[in-house]
Structure 1
Amino acid sequence: MRSFLLPVLSFTLGLAASAFADPTLSPWRVHEQRSHIPTGWTRARKLDSSASIPLRFALAQSNIENIEALLYDVSHPGSSNYGNHWSASQIAAKFAPKPETIETVRSWLIESGVEPHRMKLSPTKGWLEVASTVEEAENLLLAEYHVYDHETGTKHIACESYHLPEHVIPHVDFVTPTIHFDARIQKRDQYSRVPIGQPGQGSTPKTTGHIDDILDQIEDCDKQITPICLRALYGLWYEPVAGNINSYGIVEYTPQVYVQSDLDLFAKNFSTDLEGVSPTLVSIDGGSLTPSGSSASGSDASFDYNGESNLDLEYGMTLVTKKQNITLYQVGDWVEGGSFNTFLDALDGTYCAYDGGDDPSQDPVYPDTASGGYNDDEDCGTVQPANVISTSYGYNEADLSAAYAIRQCDEYAKLGLMGVTFLFSSGDEGVAGNTGNCLNADGSQTWDGKIFNPSFPATCPYVTAVGATQVSPGQNVWEPENACEQVIYSGGGFSNYFSMPDYQKGAVKGYLAANPISYSKDIYNSTGSRAYPDLSANGANYVVAIDGSFQLVYGTSAASPVVGAILTMVNDARIARGKPTLGFINPTIYSTAFVPSFKDVTNGTNPGCGTLGFNATKGWDPVTGLGTPYFPSLLAKWLSI
């Protein structure tokens, strides 16, 4: 069964509005409703009823209710179809909206007075766009549009709720613009979002500053993590043999960029054969290492702009060695930046041009005509996805509407069907969200909130969420690691949007039986939802070359590319033996045969929201997942499938 929106912390009401409806149509029902105005916003004035407003209806995809079963069919080690991944054309054909869906929505609009020439169906039939006035939109949706002001000066158009006729509701995922506010704010009039790569946004790594002496010895891994520590911890002693036909992708969002001289400095100390070697740059929507007209990498040679990308690439490249190239997906120009959806657009042509989860209020729009912007068409199905893709960025679930998150999550399932392994860091604030914000009862987020604030996309059941561990002071790499409690805390807990997938039910049930949660059910989702992370890797004391010197860096941002390197080497061995790539790994790693291939982490917690969070314990837990991967065991088991 596919994951569905849970009632916890959502306020979708079954309110009928038939008194306002055309008598020939079915009663209206609330389709989406926001319980509060997001922090920093105020409702300023009623929107002029004669103003133009382009309504976009996200049409329900066919067979989407079966996507979980279809994904399991090619991902579960016990399936006879394991590894029989789909082609992009098969994906497009399987999930295109049914003719009935298109006709139902079109007929309703025509009956409501919308002339056919004002409707436009997107090329892949994912969206129906209507050129409308505010007055007509309000009548169609039984909504009331207002202009909202943000404390930064940004303005936004939205409504508090909207309705659809009962017979139309099953055919529409969501409508824009409606209740969806921006996840991030930018002090710029042209748009009202901040790219996920902006300093201070998302789950970016932390640093304790510069270090003078590098301790590149196994006995010092409790003080500094270097590549030799990671190889010892996870048994990653392997040289690629199929690097020319294997692929590993790392995603960075502008303005986060790497600096080649820093990569060379790191290589000089830890992997001399990589001096002068760069990742293969794949530019998406104008992604580049320098702003237009600039000659220096990064808008500022500093940790804030170079720390994330330097970290990901220095360790990713070193762990897979020179024999395996890494693809760098640099997403977004220096004006708009990028979003998860614009990256997905580039991977899957059926997801583009408002055919997927794109929302102009949250995703950048290209061509970008601003000075220095990417003034060309959006990249749409132009990029071949790598076999393994690691992303060290994330939002809070509550930053995004449930419908928006679910639509995007389904796209990760489609790419899993195509054989892609997606890894996302689980966040660095324990059970709290980015910047330590927690939820309030009305769904708003504040630093003094009391309700646990889960991360997204880590909570999507079709990605693999990676938490963080550490070699604690005084311990060595041969002893079990602990949950990371230095500078950052491993993100983990339970989703408010997605139900628990079948593959983890046994593991989570075992955790809850052995570790009854004493917290009030008002502060976390206790209804049986997607639990995360799925696994972990070291996230503390990384030695990283940044701005010409070395710093100590912390974060699940470090853990994700390390796991990506391990899985890439497993893929190398499988490809060399004529086997398909791993694809979506969660049903496999949670299976009875694979659980022993992870080193259990039983100590530590992930505090947040005024609590100690959850505890790491025997077996799976919502701090470190199944534990840390042990490459030799995982390799042997995956080669046996």
Structure 2
Amino acid sequence: MRCSLTTFVTLSLAVASLARPALSPYNVHEKRSAIPAGWSHTRRHESAATIPLRIALKQNNLEFIDEYLHDVSHPKSSNYGKHWSAGEIARKFSPSEESISTVRDWLVENGLASERIRVSSTKGWINVDVTVEEAERLMNTEYNVYTHVSGQEHVACEAYHLPEQISAHVDFVLPSVSFDTKLKRRSGSPSEPAHSLGQPGVGITPKTTGTISQLVTELEQCDEYITPICLRALYGLVYEPVSTDINSYGIVEYTPQAYLQSDLQMFAMNYSTDLIGKEPVMVSIDGGYAQTEYQGFDYNGESDLDLQYGMTLVTGKQNVTLYQTGDMVEGASFNNFLDAIDGSYCTFEGGDDYSVDSEYPDPYGGGYEGPEDCGTVTPAYVISTSYGYNEADLTPFYAERQCAEYAKLGLMGVTILYSSGDDGVAGNGDYCLNPDGTQTANGTIFNPTFPGVCPYVTSVGATMVKPGASVLDAQPEMACMEVIYSGGGFSNYFTMPSYQKTAVDYYLENYPPNYPASIWNSTGMSRALPDIAANGANYVVAVDGEFELVYGTSCSSPVSGAIFTMINDARLAAGKSPIGFINPTIYSTDFAGAFNDITEGSNPGCGTEGYNATVGWDPVTGLGTLNFPVLLEKWLALP
């Protein structure tokens, strides 16, 4: 296993790994502990049936990716800011010939004729059509057929095993334990895959308490209504960009979520006059477009919020790129977006998993039938995303592959921000984990979000102005406890990164959560989130021609991204590199005092009060909110 990514940390009550069979050189490679809701076991698969076995090969040098990223991201490194090119990334992590030959030889030794074995043109996959009996013998497993309540069938196994020497070269095998299969869509409706981001109610979504009756523009009302002037006062964001021709800020949206230009202009006329007549630079990925067929808060609230505040805070001088991802039929996943901004990711570790990720051209017809966008888009220096899954929605190997891509983007100088979630220590939809790994509303085990738990992204939690407080007060904010609760906690997949250890160790030693180890990852060795926070309550947003009050970490991420974009502007103007992957820097002693520490509030969930905001880092608001003048000074002092 890859020590920097996949030395997985497990809850003390998690189902124990399957034991190694007696006298067998095989080890468990992947396993799943439960059948997802809506599916049931139907029968053993017929032994003579044929299945297309796809073996995803591990990439070269991934065991050093943490070291490479630290070298260009830590403020004490002599190579700070010396980011890599896309070509250097592709060459460094291409699959090795040793992996190809080792896996192929193993297949031949187990009775598969060499002419049956095919290596993909990208060298990321080894494909072979086998009988179920052959697959079960190869991987010491049993294949079953499962049926969804809709009648759709799916082939999977509970676990599979590989020899130790083969496991070192294999990331995952399909079909196997993955159960994130996309359900066949119904005609006449937008995309309905199980993990199609952008669908109403899927993943992290902003919340609203409805329309407001009067416009507000005064600082004195920021405890009830957040507008751009409140955020500038809270975080000291007074800055006019000067490097707009070479700087960039990207905001990602997933169809059918889409902004309305009329809403952007309505907001501009009242709160951001320099945006009058302006619109984001839209880049279509896999057929994405700003659809208007479906409207309402569930379809326009997220995008309207992200763009109105993201664009306002970087001012009308700075173009903002809207990455509109996925068509109206198939939709999209994070992987579809990542394919577009990094061509090497299209085939990285075997490429996408079409039981989770959308496939283009649309294999069913009716959707986007152009080629899959692969390396067609230049990534912005800062990219904000206000969407997310629950970590438990995905297999560890799927999450690991994507997490490694964020490390690659960090090597290229890209800052990646994700919302930490809106349900406190619970997962999206207020779902918590059960001992068998399932997620239900009455679960009791804390359920962190993804990609926020990936060590190579910056996870953003939510704060709010204290009731009755003024944004001009010394400490006007607390953890958000109105309508939503800041997502935070500890990963069950990823180990604690070195940059975070001192801060998290201090929290666990001085403010240990008073919960049994059976409901949270109390090992002290796992990735903790969030990293930072920003206001996430009472935002005034123009949605479908009316102003509404909006809440969520969906607010916090684009606001933070705008602040980092302005810091990049100043560094670029000084002839320096963009800030890139910021976590090693913001957790370093060099940046002590650069954040507004949040010490009040908590993040309830799973039948508990969650964690408490405390002095220093905490799993509610991270290091705190951004102090732009101090951060700017400190980053300008770096090479």
**Normalised by the shorter chain, which TM-score bucket?**
over 0.9
SS of the residue 2:79 aligns to: coil
**Residue of structure 2 equivalent to 1:512:** 508
Cα distance, 1:499 vs structure 2: 0.7
Contact 1:335 1:370 in 2 (8 A): no
**Residue of structure 2 equivalent to 1:555:** 552
Whole-angstrom CA distance in 1 between matches of 2:564 and 2:358: 31
Contact 2:192 2:199 in 1 (8 A): no
SS of the residue 1:587 aligns to: helix
Q: Taking structure 1 as reference, are residues 612 and 95 closer, same or farther at Cα in structure 2, changes over 3 Å only?
A: same
SS of the residue 1:167 aligns to: helix
Whole-angstrom CA distance in 2 between matches of 1:525 and 1:511: 14
Whole-angstrom CA distance in 2 between matches of 1:512 and 1:355: 35
Contact 2:59 2:348 in 1 (8 A): no
**Residue of structure 2 equivalent to 1:218:** 219
Whole-angstrom CA distance in 2 between matches of 1:356 and 1:586: 28
Whole-angstrom CA distance in 1 between matches of 2:165 and 2:5: 23
Q: Which moved more, 1:276-285 or 1:187-196?
A: 187-196
SS of the residue 2:528 aligns to: strand
Whole-angstrom CA distance in 2 between matches of 1:110 and 1:638: 55
The AA in structure 2 aligned to 1:588 is T
Gap regions ≥5 residues in structure 2: none
Contact 1:357 1:408 in 2 (8 A): no
**Residue of structure 2 equivalent to 1:421:** 415
Q: Which moved more, 1:186-195 or 1:272-281?
A: 186-195
The AA in structure 2 aligned to 1:547 is D
1:239 aligns with 2:250: no
1:471 aligns with 2:465: yes
**Residue of structure 2 equivalent to 1:346:** 340
Whole-angstrom CA distance in 2 between matches of 1:154 and 1:314: 41
RMSD: 1.8
The AA in structure 1 aligned to 2:619 is P
Gap regions ≥5 residues in structure 1: 20-25, 291-296
Cα distance, 1:102 vs structure 2: 1.2
Contact 1:284 1:331 in 2 (8 A): yes
1:4-57: CA deviation from partner (whole Å, max 9, x where unpaired): 3324146573633477xxxxxx72222111111122211122333344322221
1:592-637: CA deviation from partner (whole Å, max 9, x where unpaired): 1213110000000000000000000111100000000011110010
1:278 aligns with 2:279: yes
Whole-angstrom CA distance in 1 between matches of 2:307 and 2:192: 31
Cα distance, 1:131 vs structure 2: 2.5
1:510-540: CA deviation from partner (whole Å, max 9, x where unpaired): 1112212210011100112101000000000
The AA in structure 1 aligned to 2:220 is E
The AA in structure 1 aligned to 2:223 is D
**Residue of structure 1 equivalent to 2:267:** 266
TM-score normalised per structure 2:
0.95
TM-score normalised per structure 1:
0.95
Contact 2:139 2:162 in 1 (8 A): yes
**Residue of structure 2 equivalent to 1:8:** 10
SS of the residue 1:249 aligns to: strand
The equivalences for 1:111-190 within 5 A come to 111-182=109-180, 188=186
The equivalences for 1:1-400 within 5 A come to 2-9=4-11, 11=15, 13=17, 15-17=19-21, 27-182=25-180, 188=186, 193-290=194-291, 297=292, 299-353=293-347, 355-356=349-350, 358-400=352-394
Percent identity over the alignment is 62
Whole-angstrom CA distance in 1 between matches of 2:430 and 2:634: 39
Contact 1:124 1:355 in 2 (8 A): no
Contact 1:186 1:194 in 2 (8 A): no
The AA in structure 2 aligned to 1:157 is V
The AA in structure 2 aligned to 1:623 is V
Whole-angstrom CA distance in 1 between matches of 2:15 and 2:104: 28
Contact 1:204 1:308 in 2 (8 A): yes
Cα distance, 1:115 vs structure 2: 2.9
The AA in structure 2 aligned to 1:234 is Y
**Residue of structure 2 equivalent to 1:503:** 499
The AA in structure 1 aligned to 2:597 is D
Q: Which moved more, 1:40-49 or 1:551-560?
A: 40-49
Whole-angstrom CA distance in 2 between matches of 1:574 and 1:619: 27
Whole-angstrom CA distance in 1 between matches of 2:451 and 2:119: 29
Cα distance, 1:157 vs structure 2: 1.7
Contact 1:396 1:433 in 2 (8 A): yes
Q: Taking structure 1 as reference, are residues 417 and 629 closer, same or farther at Cα in structure 2, changes over 3 Å only?
A: same
Contact 1:437 1:447 in 2 (8 A): yes
The AA in structure 2 aligned to 1:637 is K
SS of the residue 2:590 aligns to: coil
Q: Taking structure 1 as reference, are residues 461 and 186 closer, same or farther at Cα in structure 2, changes over 3 Å only?
A: farther
The equivalences for 1:471-490 within 5 A come to 471-479=465-473, 480=475, 481-490=477-486
